[in-house]
Amino acid sequence: MNPLLEMRAVTKEFPGVKALDGVTFDLREGEFHALVGENGAGKSTLMKILSGIYPVGTYGGEIVINGEKREFQNIREAEAAGIAIIFQELSLVKELTVSENIFLGREPSRFGVINWAELYRKSAEMLKELHLPINPRTPVGNLGIGQQQLVEIAKALSQNARILVLDEPTAALTETEVETLFEILRKLKTRGVGMIYISHKLDEVFAMSDRITVLRDGKTVGTHATQDLNNEKVISLMVGREVGDIFPKTEHEFGEIALEVKNLDAYDLDNPNKKTVDNISFNVRKGEVLGIAGLMGAGRSELLMAIFGAWFGKTSGETFIEGKKVSINTPSDAIKNGVGFVTEDRKRFGLILEQTILDNMTLAGLKQVSGEFLTHRSRETVAAKAAANSLRVKASSILTVAGTLSGGNQQKVVLGKWLLTKPKILFLDEPTRGIDVGAKQEIYAEINKLAKEGLAIVMVSSELPEVLGLSDRILVLHEGKLTGEFSKTEATPEKVMAAATGYQ
């Protein structure tokens, strides 16, 4: 019997990076096949190829469905072939009703006039079949995240999906919602739907899957029947790689405690009952680099945002800076207390792309550099120039527009912006994401230099080698909770990954 799906020798290159290198993957009818790997191992890229987001011609290798070679030009063609993908970020229109969403773009209609009775009848039928207690006329925005996820699945099935890809479907769900989801997935299995399940949560993977495929650095490490594996084996397959030597070994001397956080909670914005940061306490000393590891959605950025006074949802907990209790409600409070925050996603949160290096660099520390009310162009120019040169920003002038710089140089501008606020504590969120190796090394050197100068550094990174290579101590988060703490000498990729997947 042919497998439902086969992907053979799939290769995908981005400029300068080989994201997938000869990946082989197959899926049987009614099978629950888990796809695991570190952040950046190539799971999402593989699924984007399968679902037609990367059209044929942009990748190497072939896709075979039911023994037939298929070439998808776009998502629609993949959908027509029975492939449905459910992304982490839901792609539902919140203002439309459940039914409208399920049939979006395929409304039963005649000459462009929608047959509403038919639309609601069909979707009600479909929801009933899945035993979903959801009113088809409810706007999706009124549903909880868990139910929205189920609507998304109903939508996929309404398109007669035979292959269902679920990318971290439980990331935003509570435990009961996860149970409901799993029940439905089991039902789908009996109907012969093949499921590819991407998850960082190994307990879920072991509870649900028939087989597990591990990807690492764009290559298939292996596909095994779930009963032949255990947590340790999966983790060692995931991380089995040497930590490179691009990390300068430096000894940091620690001073007194710079920042201490006690019992910090932060609540999800969309799902106010869910804690994205759950009772976290930690401290960091002057001169120390504290790494925070964890998988996507573990609450790492949220933790930093909450301490920094930038989290939109509810938070609670206590923050002490140099032993004194402080109340930080806004980023401005944080800056006044000597906290700097190199945020993730520099284009969205870090830079004003159409402004110059100069204007970007002096933005956060404007009042320190210039004055309370008036700006002082010369002083700003001198400060920004000095920062740009010491960080080796490559640009012809500090009046170069930030949006025209390369990723690495943009990141240096964001770093420079925060150094100009003269912080005592510096948060770094994914400081090297999407930048080339040369710029990475320069940023690593800078981090070490700053620690030597006595800054307390808290660094979130999804790159395990980076966390292991730079940190003096590592905290690991899993689903908002602290699941591990390791000193530099204790930390191994396996231990960190085990804690990050919630496996003790």
Minimum distance of other proteins from residue 75's CB (angstroms): 26
Minimum distance of other proteins from residue 420's CB (angstroms): 11
Minimum distance of other proteins from residue 351's CB (angstroms): 6
Q: Which of 55, 34, 37, 465 is nearest to 220 (CA)?
A: 37
Alpha-carbon distances, residue 487 vs 261, 467, 468, 476 (angstroms) = 19, 12, 10, 11
Minimum distance of other proteins from residue 320's CB (angstroms): 20
Beta carbon nearer to other proteins, 341 or 444: 341
Minimum distance of other proteins from residue 347's CB (angstroms): 9
Beta carbon nearer to other proteins, 60 or 331: 331
Beta carbon nearer to other proteins, 244 or 371: 371
Q: Which of 264, 194, 199, 240 is nearest to 30 (CA)?
A: 194
Beta carbon nearer to other proteins, 188 or 387: 387
Beta carbon nearer to other proteins, 229 or 364: 364
Return the residue matching tokens 């879920």: 204
Residues in contact with other proteins by the rule CB under 8 A: 308, 310, 330-332, 334-335, 341, 343, 348-355, 359, 363-364, 366-367, 370-375, 377-379, 381-382, 385, 388-389, 392-401, 403-404, 417, 421
Beta carbon nearer to other proteins, 378 or 489: 378
SS3 per residue for 291-334: EEEECCCCCHHHHHHHHHCCCCCCEEEEEEECCEEECCCCHHHH
Minimum distance of other proteins from residue 460's CB (angstroms): 15
Beta carbon nearer to other proteins, 104 or 352: 352
Beta carbon nearer to other proteins, 364 or 498: 364
Minimum distance of other proteins from residue 270's CB (angstroms): 17
Q: How would DSSP label each residue in 427-469?
A: EEESTTTT--HHHHHHHHHHHHHHHHTT-EEEEE-S-HHHHHH
Beta carbon nearer to other proteins, 72 or 341: 341
**Which string of b and e fits 161-197 if b means at least 16 CB within 10 Å?**
bbbbbbbbbbbbbbeebbebbbebbeebbeeebbbbb
Q: How many of the other CB atoms lie within 10 Å of CB of 66? A: 15
Beta carbon nearer to other proteins, 274 or 346: 346
Q: How would DSSP label each residue in 144-164?
A: -HHHHHHHHHHHHHHTT-SEE
Backbone angles phi and psi of 65, in degrees to 5: -120, 125
- Note whether 418 and 341 are within 8 A (CB): yes
Instruction: Determine the Cα–Cα distance for residues 214 and 241; give it in Å rounded to an integer.
Output: 13
Q: Which residues pair with 427 in a beta bridge?
A: 341, 458
Minimum distance of other proteins from residue 390's CB (angstroms): 10
Minimum distance of other proteins from residue 353's CB (angstroms): 7
Minimum distance of other proteins from residue 383's CB (angstroms): 10
Q: Which of 424, 171, 456, 206 is nearest to 294 (CA)?
A: 171
Return the residue matching tokens 């240096």: 412
Q: Which residues pair with 341 in a beta bridge?
A: 427
| DSSP 8-class letter at 503 | -
Alpha-carbon distances, residue 108 vs 104, 111, 116 (angstroms) = 10, 10, 8
